[in-house]
Amino acid sequence: MKHELLAPAGSLEICKAVMNAGADAVYLGGDKFGARAFAKNFSQDDLKEALDFAHMRGKKIFLTVNTLLKNKEIGTELFSYLQPLYEYGLDAVIVQDYGVFQFIRRNFPELPLHASTQMSVSNVAGAKFLMEHGAERIVTARELSSAEIRRIYDETGVEIESFIHGALCYCYSGQCLMSSMLGGRSGNRGRCAQPCRLAYQVTDARGNLLHKKEKYPLSPKDLCTIELLPELCESGIYSFKIEGRMKKLEYAAGVTSIYRKYLDLYEESPESYKVEEADMERLLLLGNRNGFTKGYYEMRNGRSMMTLTDSSHSSNDAKMAYQPAAERKLPVRMQAVFHADQPMELSVTLMDGETNTSAVTVTGVCPGLAQNRPLSREELEKRLRKTGDTPFEAEELEISLEDGLFVPVGQLNELRRSALEQLQDQLLEQGRRKAPAKQQENPYEFKGTASDTEDGKPLLNVWISSTKHLPILLQNPSVGMITLEDCGTEQRLVEQIHQAGKQAGFAFPYVLRENSEGMLQKVAADLQVFDKIWVRSYDGIGFAEETLGIPTEKLALDAGLYVFSNEAAADFLTDGFAGYTASQELNSKELVHMQNEQAELMLYGYAPLMISAQCVYKNYASCIKEKHGAGAQNEHLYLNDRYQKQFEVVRNCRHCYNVIYNSQPTSLLHQTKTIRNLNFASYRIVFRNESERKIQEILNQYADAFIGGKEVPAPKEGTFTNGHFRRGVD
């Protein structure tokens, strides 16, 4: 299989440089909707010039439209932004937002859709679900092993794109709210402030400081897989992606040239593949973060992948390490005819190997008779070979020239220029499309009711991660649903909930990889008796539907399956889902414009800020799972930032990931008046480590505010956060 080398570009200059360095395709962001809002990015004219440059060289341009879009953006801006680029021949878009995904599919049907790594696809089921809904390519989660990628390829045949070099996020991409919640800069909106690169002290529950000199527990080293290329080529990956849209030209082009060298070496002679020490040194000089890691391709997690003592990115003598590549031009055959009393004629044919598919012929005025110095064959050849800054070079030149003729230099230049321009136009026209004249409206009609209960009032759904909290909830009349989060699936629990006159919900794990699939398959029969299953990923959706046979109408979407617009809500609900969770990054003024009649709003709970395959416990203490099994418990670890805020790190050994929770709970119980006007179907309260007294206090406040109509005072300042309910994100 011929593989694609995909390089980043933060400017037009870099775009051209990485293609000259050997990239088969380039991914870049325009002036809207890209996940690198602080990059220079491309204007519409820049994008068109990049497309022309790429297409004349048989290369491709992928546009990042990989942020979550708000109602106004997706309703009035996205169509006009993409329409001219679609017509101009844009090769593909990389997308995170499901609403954007379906919007593009509906309005620009010939534009290939690539499911961004921010969709966190980690298994076969997730890939299949997105393929069925329009994805032509899956950009896999960075956390996957080469074996997991191979399985996805073998069972789906989908075109796979995976990262091979550059920065690694600590969190599963697309599942991070840390920058957003702590600083108001949303990674889902392209504005990540990189809190993972900051210093944190890791402490245990008694406040003991662990590994005092290792202050960067969330900062992975940069990925470098140059030595793994043969293995990755055999894993089913088609497109090898280099990270770095914020990096300088020397880095992007330098790294691209090295990977081009070794990808070619593997494809030409796999048995002789070996990386030269000098090239490894060049990669280090171009840029690294406390060295390199081979990432997750060969290991699940571990200390060796992390910087721990220094999170800074360094480059040394990058310009020396970067070796500019000469621009590769397209070979053409020129055939010139200059005869007396006959218009001069120039034919130019593209030489593309076995066939000549494109050719043009232009004519000019008739040559005159020379008075002094006739046109020589040498002079004519010199003029015709001056292709300048065009993408062509005259590899073959045939001249039929009568003696004694004279042609002004300007006419010769115009003949050549006209022929090459027409050939370029002919080649570029092949990729042009016709876009629809106006935006196609989403046909979905939202339901008019705003309740999950018979009496028309919003339902209260209480989530718990320990069954010790179950008795107090069973007795509380305000609670309408109890959702179990990784704390049992036994039918006896569901029976207790039903006997109390309440609905039973079950929450899938945040991440669903092979080890989790087997666990859920063992309890498939138990899952069928729950009233609602909350899925947290595209992997979870596909696995629940296809493998476990759970009806779609029983599946509801947790907050990580982002619904940022009515377009996204309509597209998910068209698929038949039971409902969804309101995004924690929308404020009240934005929520009032959402159709919330099938949505659930979180009123209280500690927000998960990061979901990571890395394990703070394993890296700073020990792997309890290896010692005592997946069900073992130990005291919790905490991250303490420079403001002495403390973030609890919870390890989920059953499914092998960590969750980092906010230092303060989100609490909106005092926002009753505003919330009632938002017409939600249900409300959510999430309990984790709260005492029985605290649980009762929160439930009483809910009853007072949302049933009794009383005003509940805000909690003591410094003990809670409004999240984004009041401020929102840009």
- 201: β partners: 640
The verdict on residue 414 lying in a domain is yes
Last residue of a domain, which of 281, 300, 321?
Answer: 321
The pLDDT of residue 74 is above 90: yes
Q: Read off the pLDDT of residues 218-260 as tens digits, 9 standing for 90 and up.
A: 999 999 999 999 999 999 999 999 999 999 999 999 999 999 9
The pLDDT of residue 354 is above 60: no
How does residue 459 score in pLDDT terms, banded at 50, 70 and 90?
very high
- Tell me, yes or no, whether 300 and 337 share the same domain: no
The mean predicted confidence, pLDDT, of the chain is: 94
- Tell me, yes or no, whether 410 and 340 share the same domain: yes
Distance CA 599, CA 348 (A): 62
26: CB partners within 8 A, 6+ apart: 6, 7, 8, 9, 15, 18, 19, 50, 54, 59, 60, 61, 62
Contact indicator for 58, 350 with CB cutoff of 8 Å? no
Going by C-alpha positions, the residue among 220, 236, 223 that lies closest to residue 146 is 236
- Tell me, yes or no, whether 556 and 654 share the same domain: yes
218-232, 256-270, 523-537, 620-634: lowest mean pLDDT where? 620-634
Going by C-alpha positions, the residue among 163, 160, 166, 194 that lies closest to residue 180 is 194
Q: At 566, list the tokens.
A: 């009515």
According to the model, what pLDDT value does residue 200 have?
97
Contact indicator for 69, 78 with CB cutoff of 8 Å? yes
- Tell me, yes or no, whether 277 and 418 share the same domain: no
- Tell me, yes or no, whether 393 and 533 share the same domain: no
The verdict on residue 177 lying in a domain is no
Number of domains present in the structure of the chain: 3
346-364 burial by CB neighbour count: b if 16+ within 10 A, else e? bbbbbbeeeeeebbbebeb
* Section 645-661 average pLDDT: 96
25-39, 50-64, 297-311, 555-569: lowest mean pLDDT where? 25-39
| Furthest CA-CA distance within the chain | 111
The pLDDT of residue 88 is above 60: yes
According to the model, what pLDDT value does residue 223 have?
98
According to the model, what pLDDT value does residue 622 have?
79
- Tell me, yes or no, whether 612 and 482 share the same domain: yes
Provide φ and ψ at 426, rounded to 5°: -65, -40
Q: Read off the pLDDT of residues 403-420 as tens digits, 9 standing for 90 and up.
A: 999 999 999 999 999 999
SS (H, E, C) 159-178: EEEEEEEECCCCCCCCCCCH
The verdict on residue 440 lying in a domain is no
* Section 319-331 average pLDDT: 80
Share of the chain above pLDDT 70, in %: 95
Contact indicator for 292, 314 with CB cutoff of 8 Å? no
Distance CA 362, CA 660 (A): 67
The pLDDT of residue 104 is above 80: yes
Distance CA 577, CA 573 (A): 5
- Tell me, yes or no, whether 398 and 281 share the same domain: no
Tell me the whole-structure pTM to 2 decimals. Answer: 0.94
18-27, 162-171, 272-281, 438-447: lowest mean pLDDT where? 438-447
According to the model, what pLDDT value does residue 451 have?
59
Provide φ and ψ at 157, rounded to 5°: 70, 10
Return left, alpha or beta for 291; rule: phi > 0 is left, psi -120 to 50 is alpha, else beta: left
According to the model, what pLDDT value does residue 453 have?
62
Residue 688: domain span: 461-707
How does residue 455 score in pLDDT terms, banded at 50, 70 and 90?
low
Contact indicator for 249, 9 with CB cutoff of 8 Å? no
The verdict on residue 184 lying in a domain is no
The verdict on residue 136 lying in a domain is yes
Contact indicator for 615, 301 with CB cutoff of 8 Å? yes
Last residue of a domain, which of 299, 321, 343?
Answer: 321
Scan for tokens 């003990």, then name that residue: 719
How does residue 315 score in pLDDT terms, banded at 50, 70 and 90?
confident
Which three-class secondary structure state does DSSP give residue 370? coil
- Tell me, yes or no, whether 300 and 340 share the same domain: no
Share of the chain above pLDDT 90, in %: 88
Q: Read off the pLDDT of residues 30-63 as tens digits, 9 standing for 90 and up.
A: 988 876 666 677 999 999 999 999 999 999 999 9
Distance CA 570, CA 687 (A): 30
Sheet holding 657-661, edge to edge: 209-210, 201-204, 637-640, 646-652, 657-661, 608-612
85: CB partners within 8 A, 6+ apart: 30, 44, 47, 48, 51, 63
According to the model, what pLDDT value does residue 486 have?
87
How does residue 632 score in pLDDT terms, banded at 50, 70 and 90?
very low
How does residue 322 score in pLDDT terms, banded at 50, 70 and 90?
confident
* Section 107-134 average pLDDT: 97
Q: What are the strands, taking DSSP E only, across 249-380?
A: 292-293, 306-308, 330-338, 345-350, 359-363, 368-369
* Section 603-622 average pLDDT: 95
How does residue 353 score in pLDDT terms, banded at 50, 70 and 90?
low
Distance CA 674, CA 688 (A): 26
- Tell me, yes or no, whether 231 and 262 share the same domain: yes
157: CB partners within 8 A, 6+ apart: none
| Pairing mode, strands 368-369 and 359-363 | unpaired
The verdict on residue 83 lying in a domain is yes
- Tell me, yes or no, whether 302 and 348 share the same domain: no
* Section 139-157 average pLDDT: 98
Residue 89's CATH number: 3.20.20.70
- Tell me, yes or no, whether 572 and 636 share the same domain: yes
Q: Read off the pLDDT of residues 677-690 as tens digits, 9 standing for 90 and up.
A: 999 999 999 999 99
According to the model, what pLDDT value does residue 626 have?
64
Last residue of a domain, which of 273, 293, 321?
Answer: 321
The verdict on residue 725 lying in a domain is no
Distance CA 626, CA 247 (A): 39
- Tell me, yes or no, whether 690 and 633 share the same domain: yes
The verdict on residue 36 lying in a domain is yes
